[in-house]
Amino acid sequence: MTQSAGIRKAERFAAIDVGSNSVKLSLAVAGSGRRPAVIETARIVSQLGQKAKKDGTLHVGSMERTAEAIAEMVEEARRQDASMIRAVATSAAREAPNGADLKERVRALAGIELEIISGQTEAALAFKAVSSHHIVDDHSSLVFDTGGGSTEIILADNYDIRSCDSIPCGALRLAEQFDAKGRTSSKVVAAIRENVREGLEAVRRKAIDTTIAVGMGGTCTALALLDIGPLPVPRNGKPPAILRENHTMARETVEARLTWLRKMDIEERKERTGLRTRRAEIIVAGACIVAEILAVFEMEWVALLDVGLRDGLLIEMMQPQD
């Protein structure tokens, strides 16, 4: 039987974000206004950046885990009748001399082409996601996306981007570089923050009269949930709808959370916060990034938003093709 036009299923789009720490899927249909309506999400922690060599060469096991995770996401998207599927990889893949090997494994296992995008493109997609929520309207904004291998920073006036930068300071990268997964001393925290500060210096000089800071990414979502307090979030579920709009957090609160988190070992951190193992291992390094961004740009508060590169990619995918 043929469906009538009135009940035809809406066209579905699938966006896959292949980061240094995890592979994430968003399945969506076109929503009202500028935002896609996300109907399903999934996340697999594959840690592509784990055990990478100093020159960025990816570990064979990490690539295989990641390619398998992408294949699983693609299979789910096809099962859900997605008409368009795109997978984009960020810092770990773009810095890797053997990134072509990852693309080949993804092609073999998933049957799609993995796009390895630049830091500037990554930042621009992140800004698309944030601006669709109108939070930057009429503001000179600082938008940052904390990833596993890098942090993207966008300076904008209203909807006009002034600069997009990517700095090699991500939660997984710094946690491994400074051996800061478990209980972390104040001395190590200071060293991590100095590393972040150095990465931010060139961006800081571009900032003029910034009036709002907006943070996104796994670290920002985790900090917001810790600040909101215990909520009935299913273990395999997505964060509460409140974070789709934003949660405001004071700079002094971010600093207090960082101090609280660094004093716990991984098991205590998991027990007291509800964070999963992989996030518990990198949350201190991630919190250092957020705290230092607010300090360097002298922002007293930040709006934390549960959106990401996938949302920006979906917006791009849903735009009419020429």
CA-based end-to-end distance of the chain:
33
- Say which residues have a Cβ less than 8 Å from residue 163's Cβ, sequence separation at least 6: 154, 155, 203, 206
Indicate if the pLDDT at residue 3 is higher than 60.
no
Per-residue pLDDT, 9: 65
pLDDT band, very low/low/confident/very high, at 231 (cuts 50, 70, 90): very low
Question: Is the CATH number 3.30.420.150 carried by domain 133-306?
Answer: yes
What are the pLDDT digits (tens) for 98-136?
999 999 999 999 999 999 999 889 989 999 998 888 888
**What average pLDDT is seen over the chain?**
89
Half-sphere exposure of 322 (CA within 13 A, CB side): 0
Domain residue ranges in the chain: 5-118, 133-306
pLDDT of residue 4: 39
Give the other-Cβ count within 10 Å of 265's Cβ. 13
* Residue-level pLDDT at 44: 93
pLDDT per position as a tens digit, 244-281: 567 899 999 999 999 999 999 999 999 999 898 989 99
Backbone φ and ψ of 320, nearest 5°? -55, 135
Mean local confidence (pLDDT), 209-214? 91
| Same CATH fold assignment for domains 5-118 and 133-306 | yes
pLDDT of residue 184: 98
pTM confidence score = 0.84
Q: Looking at residue 306, what is its pLDDT?
A: 86
Q: Which of 96-110, 184-198, 233-247 is least confident?
A: 233-247
What contacts 100, CB < 8 A, 6 or more positions away? none
Calculate mean pLDDT across residues 4-28: 82
Q: What is the CATH class of 5-118?
A: alpha beta
Helices (H), 80-185: 91-94, 99-110, 119-131, 171-177
Q: Which of 158, 153, 124 lies closest to 140, judged by CA?
A: 158
